[in-house]
Every structure is written in C-alpha cells, then in structure tokens.
C-alpha cells in the first residue's frame, strides 16, 4: 500500500511545487489541501504540477486547524496518513498543529509559531544572545516618536507576518514612518488572507551590510548546515531579491560566522526538525539575524543547491516527515556553482520586449522563464511578486554562473510607457 502524504498549501516560487513532484516520484499518494486552488493554477506551469503530481485536492479554510481537521475526517482515515506538512511560509503553524493532532512527525508547534512571527523571533533570540538589530513592536501610531528615540533613523518598518519582502520599507524620518505605518496598519489581512486584527508592526534599526541566507536541515535535534547562498537585493527603500548564487563566494571565516548565527537562532526558538531558511546580514559589527523561515528557501534556492551539490533538500524534508532517515551529503562533493537572476523593468506598460532568443544561446542555462509580454502592466518593484521572470544557470563555479546569469539578463530589452495616475493606482491595488 502506498504511503500517503498531505501538503497544506504551498509557496509560489518553486520548492512547494517541487515538493509535489518529488513526493510523487518517491511513490507516495499525494493529497493537497488549499483554500484557493486558482492561486497556484495562475502561476506559469502551476497547473501541470497538479495534473501530474497530485492525487487528491481538498478545498477548505486552511487558516483554521479545526477546519483542516474536519476536512480530513470527512474524507480520509487518520491512520492512512504517513506525513502532513507544508512547504509554504504562511501555513507552518497550522500544519504543525494538525500533524501533532494526528500523531505524525512535525516541527514543534511553538517553534513554528515563533518562526512565523518576526517579533517573537527577535524576543527569543535576544534572550539567547543571538546577534540581532535593535527592535521594538508597535501597535499605535502615537508610540512611534518615543520608540524612534531608541531605534534611530533610518529604520526598517515591517509586518511581523509577511514574506517575499512584502511591506518591508526603509524610512528616513518620522513623517515617512507614520505614512507607511498607516498604510500597513490599514490592511486587515496579510497577502494570504490571514487576519491581522490589532497586530503589532516591527520597527528595527537599519543594518548597513550585505545579506546572505543559510539552508539548514534539522534531524534528531542536530542542525546540519547545507550551505550559504549569496543574495542580491534591489536598491532603494524596498528589499526585493533580484538574484542568488550558491555556494557563497565569501571567505570561509565569514561563512562560518553566518552558519553559527543560523544554528544559534534555531536553538533559541526550539527548532527541532525539518528544513529552515535563515537570512542574516553581514555588518561591520558582525553577522546579525534578519529572520528564520521554517521551510526550505523559495526563489529556486533548493534547485540551486541541487544543481551544485547533487543533493535534494526537498527529498530529505519529505523523508524526515515520513519518519525516514535523510540522505544528507558530503560537503566535499561540491561540484558546480549555480545562480539565478530575476527579470525586472521600469513600472509602466510594456511596449517592447526583445532578446529572449539571445539568452538561450548562452552556456549553462537551465531555466529561462518570462512571465511578461507586450501589454503587461509592470508594477513598482516593492515585493518579490512584482518580478517578471528569471534565468537560472549552472557552471563550474558560482562566480562563473553569476557572470552568465548577469549576462543573460543584459540581453533583454524591456521598454515600458509610464502609467496614468488612475491606472497606476488601480495596478497597485491588484
């Protein structure tokens, strides 16, 4: 009899969809639970994954533990499940609570809740002396001036429950901070429809430095660092990820420091099993934690790792949740470098697009995805979801892969005409 694995929602940038494929290739019966299937079908290539790699689709209110359990009990006997998990950032706490109820291996629900809340992560890491920026939580606008006496300008304002750089903004003075505070606070839900009733926002010092991420697999209480990824961010007040390279080209001493901060942060929140994607910033004071994500990295980072190491993080995560022994790997077996660069353009309506045929002439191109065409409305680049596609490359080193990926992006010519004020206002709402 096939082992039965259930996924609660997914992310929209790769590892979640890949998890469905890997599970099917491992011979599992795959069930997918969602509150909005269309969200996934709208992603280029998304419908193919559900056609080929999903056996059952269940629709229910996935933000509610009770509703998920009710849906499960309606259709499926508990004993038929071997694993219940999510590879989507927003759904980690609910998935952990459901799996606990079913008696299945899972991340501790308390750790899941802490990781999902950026403010709680700061609190627990501060108690454990993990290096972090100065921070405060704020609920009311009249608290801002006093708080900024401690934080100082410029500062970072962000919701505690978003991902993909959504609503993360750099503020240079009090007027700007108040404006963005009101804009975020007026949103009653996050981008996945989860309630923000009376929820705090996080204000923290602006850290000057460069950012990297660390992939970790935790098994039997032991953290195995898979590797460090160099990240490339957009300029300005927002921090959109426009590229990644794996493995990091940084000096070994810095890489080790980044890994140590990642492991210490996981210990601080009681992270006991599964994959994690930790983001840190390297500053003149040393490495400081940005956030912990209790799932594999998005943005095709697991694909970069697999192209470089020949090792699948996603496959090992599924094994852990199936209560099987993960494969792990030998770090000395690094064979290749891999890089991804994301396609962007000035805001407006695309009038001309060319160069795609030249991209495919470069060596090492593994994926080239363009989700825009003439007539597409390009939104301001203030979150990852406003990118237009990507180029993914493998080469003999991460430096070479990066050079090829950057060259590929340089072949593209995307010309836009500015939007009218009315159309721009509408585009920013959708």
* pLDDT tens readout for residues 125-174: 999 999 999 999 999 999 999 999 999 999 999 999 998 788 999 999 99
Same fold, 4-106 and 338-430: no
Residue 76 has pLDDT above 80, yes or no: no
* Predicted model pTM: 0.93
List the one residue out of 51, 70, 48 whose CA is nearest residue 59: 70
In this structure, what are the phi and psi dihedrals at residue 342, rounded to the nearest 5 degrees? -100, 145
Question: Domain 338-430 - what CATH class?
Answer: alpha beta
pLDDT level of residue 55 (50, 70, 90 thresholds): very high
Cβ-contact 221, 239 below 8 angstroms:
no
Compute the distance between CA of residue 404 and CA of residue 400 in angstroms, rounded to an integer: 6
pLDDT score of 340 = 98
pLDDT score of 287 = 98
* DSSP-derived secondary structure letter, 189: B
343 vs 429 pLDDT, higher one? 343
pLDDT score of 425 = 55
Which range has highest mean pLDDT (183-187, 306-310, 380-384, 391-395)?
391-395
pLDDT over 90 for what percent of the chain? 78
pLDDT score of 194 = 84
pLDDT score of 323 = 93
pLDDT by residue (tens digit) across 201-252?
Answer: 999 999 999 999 999 999 988 999 999 999 999 988 888 999 999 999 999 9
Residue 77 has pLDDT above 60, yes or no: no
Local structure of 275: helix, strand or coil: strand
In this structure, which CATH number among 3.40.50.300, 3.30.930.10, 3.30.70.790, 3.30.1490.20 belongs to the domain 134-205? Answer: 3.30.1490.20
Dihedral (Cα; 189, 97, 95, 319), 10-degree rounding: 160
pLDDT score of 174 = 96
Cβ-contact 62, 68 below 8 angstroms:
yes
Cβ-contact 267, 193 below 8 angstroms:
no
Dihedral (Cα; 92, 98, 103, 104), 10-degree rounding: -40
Strands, E assignment, 154-257: 155-159, 169-171, 201-205, 209-219, 222-233, 241-246
Q: What residues contact residue 97 under an 8 Å CB cut-off, 6+ apart?
A: 65, 109, 112
Cβ-contact 311, 226 below 8 angstroms:
yes
Residue 178 has pLDDT above 70, yes or no: yes
CB neighbour class for 318 (10 Å; exposed up to 12, middle 13-18, buried from 19): buried
Dihedral (Cα; 37, 70, 1, 16), 10-degree rounding: 30
Average pLDDT, the chain: 92
Q: Which residue has the tokens 């290096």?
A: 131
* DSSP-derived secondary structure letter, 128: T
CATH of domain 209-335: 3.30.470.20
Q: Which residue has the tokens 């229910």?
A: 60
pLDDT score of 359 = 97
Compute the distance between CA of residue 276 and CA of residue 122 in angstroms, rounded to an integer: 16
List the one residue out of 96, 104, 52 whose CA is nearest residue 80: 104
194 vs 111 pLDDT, higher one? 111
Please state the rounded mean pLDDT for residues 386-402.
96
CA-CA distances (angstroms) from residue 244 to 108, 254, 389, 392, 401? 30, 17, 14, 10, 10
In this structure, what are the phi and psi dihedrals at residue 292, rounded to the nearest 5 degrees? -115, 130
pLDDT score of 72 = 87
275 vs 1 pLDDT, higher one? 275
Dihedral (Cα; 79, 82, 87, 91), 10-degree rounding: 20
Please state the rounded mean pLDDT for residues 355-376.
95
Other Cβ atoms less than 10 A from the Cβ of 23: the count is 28
Local structure of 309: helix, strand or coil: helix
Topology of the domain comprising 4-106: Rossmann fold (3.40.50)
pLDDT level of residue 80 (50, 70, 90 thresholds): confident
The ranges assigned to domains in the chain are 4-106, 134-205, 209-335, 338-430
Cβ-contact 312, 22 below 8 angstroms:
yes
pLDDT score of 14 = 64
């Amino acid at each position: 009899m096939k082992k039965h694995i259930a996924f609660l929602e997914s992310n929209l940038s790769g590892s979640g969809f890949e998890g469905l494929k890997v599970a099917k290739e491992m011979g599992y019966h795959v069930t997918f639970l969602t509150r909005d299937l269309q969200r996934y079908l709208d992603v280029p290539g998304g419908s193919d994954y559900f056609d080929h790699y999903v056996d059952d689709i269940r629709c229910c209110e996935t933000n509610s533990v009770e509703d998920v359990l009710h849906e499960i009990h309606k259709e499926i006997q508990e004993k038929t499940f071997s694993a219940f998990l999510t590879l989507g950032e927003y759904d980690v706490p609910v998935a952990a609570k459901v799996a606990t109820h079913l008696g299945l291996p899972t991340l501790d629900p308390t750790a899941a809740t802490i990781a999902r809340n950026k403010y709680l992560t700061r609190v627990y890491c501060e108690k454990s002396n993990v290096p972090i920026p100065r921070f405060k939580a704020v609920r009311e606008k009249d608290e801002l001036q006093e708080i900024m006496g401690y934080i100082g300008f410029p500062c970072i304002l962000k919701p505690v429950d978003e991902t993909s750089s959504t609503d993360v903004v750099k503020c240079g003075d009090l007027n700007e901070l108040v404006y963005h505070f009101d804009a975020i606070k007026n949103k009653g839900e996050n981008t996945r429809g989860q309630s923000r009733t009376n929820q705090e926002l996080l204000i923290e010092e602006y850290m000057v430095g460069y950012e990297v991420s660390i992939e970790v697999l935790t098994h039997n209480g032991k953290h195995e660092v898979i590797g460090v990824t160099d990240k490339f961010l957009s300029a300005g007040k927002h921090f959109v990820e426009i590229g990644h390279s794996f493995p990091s080209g940084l000096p070994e001493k810095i890489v080790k420091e980044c890994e140590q901060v990642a492991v210490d942060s996981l210990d601080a929140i009681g992270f006991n099993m599964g994959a994690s994607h930790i983001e840190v910033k390297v500053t003149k004071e040393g490495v400081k934690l940005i956030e912990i994500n209790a799932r594999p990295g998005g943005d095709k980072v697991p694909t970069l790792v697999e192209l470089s190491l020949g090792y699948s993080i996603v496959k090992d995560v599924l094994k852990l949740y199936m209560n099987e022994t993960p494969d792990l790997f030998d770090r000395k077996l690094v064979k290749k470098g891999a890089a991804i660069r994301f396609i962007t353009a000035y805001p407006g309506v695309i009038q001309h697009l060319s160069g795609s045929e030249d991209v495919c002439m470069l060596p090492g191109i593994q994926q080239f995805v363009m989700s825009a065409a003439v007539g597409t409305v390009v939104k301001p680049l203030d979150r990852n979801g406003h990118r237009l596609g990507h180029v993914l490359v493998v080469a003999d080193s991460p430096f070479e892969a990066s050079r090829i990926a950057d060259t590929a992006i340089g072949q593209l010519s995307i010309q836009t005409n500015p939007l009218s004020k009315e159309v721009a206002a509408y585009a920013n709402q959708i």
